[in-house]
């Protein structure tokens, strides 16, 4: 019940602004698919250079879905968390009630999971007219996207709770989010990367999310098998959640 109470706060806040996200939830995926999948993909397919077994549009569609989950996740777990500690101090107000630090973390993560699910559902609807959904298991990509998003959101919660300036988020984006988005299998297979870069891709939650989304939408096998990819994402979530609860507890108990 404590988790639901914390979730209720975020839902009440989102109810006042949800309309502003509806257009971007559909327009941004469509523009990305046209720009990368249709335009660039047309050149790639025409020259037979993809070697992917499917048209380039079908290849990057699931990857962009996982990447969208990443963008929603990082957007909701950086400045919103930092501001709840330092600017609007809503976490402190919650802690003044019977809510524990753990309940506050779970409530906010639950809200982010909902946001990821809604954005991913919109992305799937956009993929439908492009003919990318090739498997009856395509709806399972929603779960994969949520897991991938939470795998990044949970440790980012811990990071946002301990930094003393929001300027650190620029470092996070430049050194983690952007490289992950470019080199985690969204636009091309990671097998062609140098060994060190390939190892980093395998560790990143986005690569595992991309593999699961691609398997669900295209009906193709994953690189390591679905259980292993899911286990890695769950491990990211578990470790990140533990660190976040500890960081929240220190901040709210001082």
- Write down the pLDDT at residue 131: 85
Residue 152 has pLDDT above 70, yes or no: yes
**In this predicted model, what pLDDT tens digit does every residue of 118-150 receive, in sequence order?**
999 989 988 888 888 988 999 999 999 999 999
pLDDT band at 104 (very low <50, low <70, confident <90, very high): very high
**In this predicted model, what pLDDT tens digit does every residue of 13-30 receive, in sequence order?**
888 877 767 666 667 777
* Over residues 105-117, mean pLDDT: 95
Evaluate if pTM is beyond 0.85: yes
DSSP-H helix ranges across 163-204: 168-172, 178-183, 195-203
Lowest mean pLDDT among 33-37, 94-98, 188-192, 241-245: 33-37
**In this predicted model, what pLDDT tens digit does every residue of 223-241 receive, in sequence order?**
899 999 999 999 999 999 9
Give the relative orientation of helices 56-77 and 140-162 as an angle to the nearest 10 degrees: 40
What percent of the chain stands above pLDDT 70? Answer: 96
Phi, psi torsion values for 51, nearest 5 degrees: 60, 30
Sign of the C-alpha dihedral, residues 216, 112, 199, 239? negative
**In this predicted model, what pLDDT tens digit does every residue of 31-90 receive, in sequence order?**
877 777 777 777 777 776 556 778 888 899 999 999 999 999 999 999 999 999 999 999
Domain count for the chain, please give it.
1
Distances (CA, A) of 138 to 117, 141, 142: 14, 6, 8
Contact partners, residue 214, CB within 8 Å, separation at least 6: 59, 62, 63, 220, 222
User: Which range marks the domain in which residue 14 is found?
Assistant: 2-253
**In this predicted model, what pLDDT tens digit does every residue of 61-77 receive, in sequence order?**
999 999 999 999 999 99
pLDDT band at 108 (very low <50, low <70, confident <90, very high): very high
- The terminus-to-terminus CA distance of the chain in angstroms comes to 25
Report the alpha-carbon distance of residue 117 to residue 147 in Å, rounded: 10
């Amino acid at each position: 019940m404590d988790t639901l109470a914390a979730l209720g706060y975020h839902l009440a806040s989102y109810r006042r602004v949800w309309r502003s996200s509806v257009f971007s939830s559909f327009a941004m995926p469509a523009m990305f698919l046209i720009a990368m999948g249709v335009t660039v993909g047309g050149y790639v397919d025409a020259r037979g250079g993809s070697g992917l077994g499917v048209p380039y549009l079908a290849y990057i569609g699931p990857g962009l879905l996982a990447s969208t989950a990443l963008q929603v996740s990082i957007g909701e777990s950086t400045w919103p968390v930092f501001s709840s500690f330092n600017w609007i101090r809503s976490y402190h107000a919650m802690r003044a009630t019977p809510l524990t630090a753990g309940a506050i973390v779970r409530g906010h993560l639950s809200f982010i999971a909902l946001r990821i699910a809604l954005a991913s559902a919109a992305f799937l609807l956009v993929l439908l007219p492009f003919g990318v959904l090739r498997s009856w298991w395509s709806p399972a990509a929603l779960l994969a996207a949520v897991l991938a998003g939470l795998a990044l959101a949970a440790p980012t919660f811990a990071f946002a709770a301990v930094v003393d300036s929001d300027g650190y988020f620029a470092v996070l984006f430049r050194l983690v989010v952007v490289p992950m988005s470019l080199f985690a299998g969204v636009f091309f297979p990671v097998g062609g990367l140098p060994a060190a870069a390939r190892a980093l891709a395998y560790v990143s939650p986005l690569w595992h999310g991309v593999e699961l989304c691609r398997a669900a939408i295209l009906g193709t096998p994953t690189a390591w098998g679905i259980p292993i990819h899911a286990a890695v994402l769950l491990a990211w979530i578990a470790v990140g959640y533990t660190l976040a609860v500890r960081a929240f507890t220190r901040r709210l108990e001082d």
